[in-house]
Amino acid sequence: MCGRFTLTYRDREELARQLGVSVESFDEEEYRPRYNIAPMQRHWVMRMEREDRELLPARWGLVNSWAKDSKRAFRQINARTETVDQRPAYRAAFGARRCVVPADGFFEWSGPKSHRMPQWFHRADGGLLLFAGLYETWFPKPDEPELTFTIITADANVVVAEVHDRMPVILDDAAVDHWLFPGEMAVDERKALLTPAPDESLVRTTVSPRVNSVKNDDAACLAEQATLLDGSAAD
């Protein structure tokens, strides 16, 4: 699964350029680097509006349009590639409401239960990771729509499999446009985009246990920790 991730870019203009959206898409007062994004928190998703990419604020944890409340949001932070076109919670969004979730890393945990250490998976060059996602709009109140999203996961590649058996689907630049394309596309063709990232595309860094608490969201979360041969952190 993917239960925490990061987007640490300080320069929102550069981030907007890389995403192919206008810098005005990021609210100047709301945007900030994020080092420990957790379920139920607000982030950003990118979708295709006509022929242009559009960036919108959204809350992590998909709530279906027909839902009476948000109780299932936490259970729906991830959707499995294998069943995303079949499960009622995701089937309609898979057909019509696909998005990309911008990030530059994600976390999994390793080590004994008494000393779990966060492992940050990221590109060696610090570049963007574009997660495949789905979005829905629901109404907490009749006149207050809220956009929510889920991140799609696939089997882990070799690097991530050392820690966990699932990972977020990371789309390359060519796949992004196909994924966001609003026109008709066969289910099999669309699902073919949802594959594990190449093994060489990610590196793993053991980082601070500050990540264990959702209250911590600063650069210190990514402080590299020395590790032992068994992958646990050195004292």
* 108 counts as catalytic: yes
Tell which phi-psi region holds residue 50, choosing left (phi > 0), alpha (psi between -120 and 50) or beta. Answer: left
| Beta pairing class for 144-155 and 52-60 | parallel
The one catalytic residue in 99, 108, 136, 221 is 108
* 54 counts as catalytic: no
Helices assigned H by DSSP within 129-217? 158-161, 173-180, 187-191
Separation CA 107–CA 4 (nearest Å): 6
SS3 118: strand
Separation CA 91–CA 82 (nearest Å): 12
**Catalytic residue numbers?**
2, 108
